[in-house]
Amino acid sequence: MIIGERLRALREGKKFSQAEIEKRTGLLCCYISRVENGHTVPAVETLEKFARGLEVPMYQLFYEGDRPPKLLSPVKRKADSKLFGVSGKEARVWAKFRSLLGRTDAKSQSILLLMAQKMARRKALQGAED
């Protein structure tokens, strides 16, 4: 499936013109045309704008059915009790950390990751000394 064709089909199905989508999304008509004709591939953020402008859930940009596709069950791995965050309180802390990290800006994420790398190196050096 080509995303431009799908966007055009959804737009025409709603009887929206490219000008209407421009008003709803803030994207220029010439850009909308380039996407629909396959001359450019939109970023995820732009696809979110298209979905909002077309008043459809994001999955409908990629899926032609009436209902959301059935989700596959995740692959279950054997828990290694030696790993941090695999179960219990550590898993809840790790989930909260991931959630909060996802809400931080890119600069703050870079700083946090740099600090984590330094802490990991220090921990590895301490383990080697023992």
Q: What pLDDT is recorded for position 6?
A: 92
Separation of alpha carbons 27 and 35, rounded Å:
11
Give the single-character DSSP code of 57: -
Q: What pLDDT is recorded for position 43?
A: 92
pLDDT of 8-67, one tens digit each? 999 999 999 999 999 999 999 999 999 999 999 999 999 999 999 999 988 888 887 777
With a cut of 90, say whether residue 116 has pLDDT above it.
Answer: no
Nearest alpha carbon to residue 111 among 98, 101, 96:
101
Q: What pLDDT is recorded for position 62?
A: 86
Q: What share of the chain is helix, strand, coil (3-state, %, to 5)?
A: 60, 0, 40
Assign domain 3-61 to a CATH class.
mainly alpha
Q: What pLDDT is recorded for position 26?
A: 94
Higher confidence at residue 108 or residue 87? 108
Q: Which two tokens stand for residue 47?
A: 């696809």
With a cut of 70, say whether residue 75 has pLDDT above it.
Answer: no
Higher confidence at residue 118 or residue 129? 118
Determine the distance from the C-alpha atom of residue 126 to the mean position of all C-alpha atoms in its chain, rounded to a whole number: 37
Half-sphere exposure of 61 (CA within 13 A, CB side): 22
pLDDT of 78-104, one tens digit each? 655 566 666 778 778 878 877 887 788
